[in-house]
Every structure is written in C-alpha cells, then in structure tokens.
Amino acid sequence: MENRLRLILGLGILIVTGVWFFREPLRGRIRERATLANEAPASELVDEMIEQADEPRADLLAAWNSGRIVHRERAVRSFPNVVRSNQPLPLDLENLLLSAALDPDLSVREAALGILQARRHPALAAVAAEQLRDVDPQVRWLGLRQLKSVDAATGVPMVIPLLNDPDPTTIALSLRLLESWSGRSFGVTLGETAAIENEQTGLWEYRPGSLERAGAGAAQAREWWLEHHGSFPPAPLPLPAAAGAARSTVPAGDFQLRTLAGRSLRLSDFRGKVVLINFWTTWCTACVGEMPGLIALQKKHGDSLAILGVSLDFVPDSHGHTGGHSAAEEPAPDAGDHEDHEAPAVALKRIREKVARTIEARGINYPILLDERNEVGGRFNGGELPTTVIIDGEGKVRRRFVGARSLPVLEAMIAQAGRKPGLP
C-alpha cells in the first residue's frame, strides 16, 4: 500500500512538473486551435497567434488553409513579419502569395500584390495582367498600380487595350503609365478624371466631361501606338500554376439571422442562386446611397439573385456606443442626445426602429437581417462599410470588397458568379 502511494505521488509530481515545464507550448497550441476554430475572431487574435507561435510560418499557413475570410486576410498581412524582404521565399509561401494575388477577397489581393511588388517578383507582370481583365474597375486600378516597376516592352502592350475602357480613371492611369514609358504627354491628368464624393449620397461620382477628357487623351495615345507598335512585339506572360489555384473559391459556410419581423433566414436557404450580402448601417451615408442600385438589381434579377442586407447597427463603434450614430435618413442629433448608459433592451428597440425607418423610406425590396452579435459581420470582416460579399449557387465566395460599386459593375459581377469559376 505504501509503495502504491509513493508511485501515485511520484506520478502526480511528474505530471505537474511536465505541465509546468510545457505550459507555454501547451498554451500556444490551445490558443492556435481556439483561434483557428473561431469563425469570427478579432483580427488581433489571428495576428497574435502567428506572431507568438514557435513556428510562425506553420501558423501562417494554418490560418490561410483554414478557409476563413478573416484568417486568410491576416495571414497575408502578417507575411512581411514572418519572411523578411531580404530573405528568400520558401516555395509553399511563394505559392500562397501567388494564389492570394487572385483571391476572391480584394483586400487579400491588394496585400499580396503589394508584397510581390516590394520583392520585384518575376511573376508580378503576369498576375497584374489578370487584374486588368477584371470586371471591377477598382481591381483594374490595382493591377495598373503594380505596373510602375515593369519595363516598357512588357507593360505597353498590356495597357493599350485599356484605352477603350469605359471607366475614366482606368484610362487616366493607363495614360500615366504610357507617358512614363514613351516620354510623351497625352494631355490628361488624374485630377481631371478622378471621381469625387457626393456629399448627399456618400458615393463617388465622375465630374461631367471626365470620360470625354480621358477619351481625348486616349485618342492621342492610340495615334502614338500606331506609329510605334512595331517596337513592342507582344510577349506571352504565362500565369504561374500556383496563381491559378485561386480559381478554387472559398466556402462561405452557413449562418442564420432574423429579420425585423422575427423571420429566421439561413444562407443555405438560397442555395442554387447567386447571393449578394451587403453589410451596412443606417448611419453610413454610402451604405444608404447604394441602396437604389441594390433595389434595381433585385428587381431585375429576382429569379436568379438573392440580396441580403445585413445591418451592423448593433455593433459598438470605436467609443463603445451601440447605435450611437443618427440614421442617414435623419438629422444629426445634438451631442447630448446619446445615452451612454442606455439599457440594452432600450438600445435594441431604438436601433430596430431606425432600421425599420430606413427600410420604409428607401422602399427596400430585399430581406434585411439583424446581426445583433456581429456573428456574421465578424465572419466576413464586415466592419468596413459598406462591405459586399458575392456567393455563387454552390455556396462559394466569389467576391468580397469594400465600398459601393455602380449598377453595371454589380451586374457584371453577378453574371460572372453565375458561371463556373475560371470562366470569363
């Protein structure tokens, strides 16, 4: 009996000693598993998981391979801290970057392309060329910004087709690059063609005559091209196989939220249709300003498209206030009107009333869902407003971007999401 007690005591001491000795690695593993399993973690948690890991590279890859929106974006943004710019790229991380450069999430694309540009990666021109073919003008702008470091022989043939682009800023950015490569001026500045914010709607709009001015500069550039095209024979820009991996889209998962009327809706209820999820608040002017376009889109494509407006009015602002902003439909309240210590039930009722007034005032014809705990907004990283996520009929994320888009651009995105990934 005494020997058994000694054995048990010894084993207990050994276990306690082992736990004490390995406490930090155990904490790290627990933190990693909890963060990877969390569908809507704060960005800081993913950053800490990677930065504090014994093997940051392994945790970066784990975050990327999780298939979750927040994790994947933070994985790419953590990249410069894991692999310094003066260090060679391991093959697995290089493949990750190339895939991220064509990711459905525009924030991921932007971060990945910035890293490839900083490293002067040989595949930069090829992945930039893919951006130039996108239906979203802001993606085309992103691609054009990457071409500053590309030589004229490579860049000029890539940019010439954009002289016929319907977007004035795309033409102006193309002309600036052609000017740097040709040494000629085509008489157009970005200031003349850039969009300006409409103070009433919060949307970006072009000044009258912007497209005409851009077109006049493009005409001069085409004349220059007729004279010099023989000096720029087209060269193939093969896309690395790893970049093509981005064609496999990100699973959207499923979620359930309620409408103002208390009706419960699931994302999976709309399987077979393209789904556009729009994260908004009543106090976001641009969010409310783009609603007429979404209403028109739903009216035109109701049979094949489901639009879900997800209200994030319940999410506290940077000061910790819930629903602390006035609705875009209402005059701004006095500074003293906000109740910092408002009871949760009262605050919830007040927010619901603001959302209801906006729905009625705007004549919204698509479901508005209430994300009271930021479960869905946190999952899709919808803190920046407005954020839009487009999901195809199989439940895969095909687009995620911040900021309003015009109705023709949204229609092009919806049409693309209705086709299989990789098809034009």
Query: Tokens representing 238?
Result: 């093969």
Residue 249 CA to residue 139 CA, distance in Å, equals: 17
CA distance 250 to 300: 27
Average pLDDT over residues 286-312: 95
- Give the pLDDT band of residue 28 (cuts 50, 70, 90): low
User: Mean pLDDT, to the nearest integer, of 190-198?
Assistant: 88
Query: Which of 26-30, 170-174, 312-316, 382-386 is the least confident region?
Result: 26-30
Is 338 within 8 Å of 321 (Cβ atoms)? yes
Does the pLDDT at position 42 exceed 80?
yes
Supply the pLDDT for residue 325.
59
301-355, pLDDT tens digit by residue?
988 999 999 999 998 765 555 665 566 666 555 544 454 556 677 788 899 999 9
Residue ranges of domains in the chain = 1-123, 134-238, 250-417
How far is 364 from 298, CA to CA, in rounded Å? 10
Q: Whole-model pTM?
A: 0.88
Q: What are phi and psi of 165, to 5 degrees?
A: -65, 145
**pLDDT(409) > 80:** yes
Mean pLDDT of 403-408: 94
Range of weakest confidence among 261-265, 313-317, 410-414: 313-317
Q: Return the H-helix or E-strand segment holding 257.
A: strand 256-259
User: What integer pLDDT is reported at residue 32 of this predicted model?
Assistant: 80
Higher-pLDDT residue of 140 and 324 is 140
**Nearest residue to 52 via CA among 34, 27, 70:** 27
Instruction: State the average pLDDT for the chain.
Output: 88
- Predicted pLDDT at 3: 59
What local confidence, expressed as pLDDT, does residue 336 receive?
A: 47
Residue 386 pLDDT more than 90? Answer: yes
**CA dihedral in degrees (166, 171, 173, 174; nearest 10)?**
120
Question: For the residues 129-151, what does the mean pLDDT come to?
Answer: 96
Is the model's pLDDT at 19 over the cut of 50?
A: no
* Chain Cα centroid distance, residue 293: 20
What local confidence, expressed as pLDDT, does residue 294 receive?
97
Lowest mean pLDDT among 24-28, 158-162, 263-267, 304-308: 24-28
pLDDT-derived band of residue 357, with 50, 70 and 90 as boundaries?
very high
Q: Which fold has domain 250-417?
A: Glutaredoxin (3.40.30)
pLDDT tens per residue across span 79-135 = 999 998 888 899 999 999 999 999 999 999 999 999 999 999 999 999 999 999 999
What's the rounded Cα separation, in Å, for the pair 23 and 342? 42
Q: Using the predicted structure, report yes or no on whether residue 359 has a pLDDT greater than 90.
A: yes
pLDDT at residue 343, as a whole number? 66
The confidence score (pLDDT) of residue 27 equals: 62
pLDDT of 176 strictly over 60? yes
Q: Nearest to residue 103, comparing CAs of 140, 132, 76?
A: 76
* pLDDT over 60 at 197, yes or no: yes
Is 240's pLDDT higher than 70? yes
Does the pLDDT at position 418 exceed 50? yes
The pLDDT score that the predictor gives to residue 348 is 84
How many angstroms separate the CA atoms of 113 and 101, rounded? 6
User: What pLDDT, on a 0 to 100 scale, did the predictor assign at position 234?
Assistant: 83
Q: Comparing 275 with 15, which gets the higher pLDDT?
A: 275
Supply the pLDDT for residue 242: 82
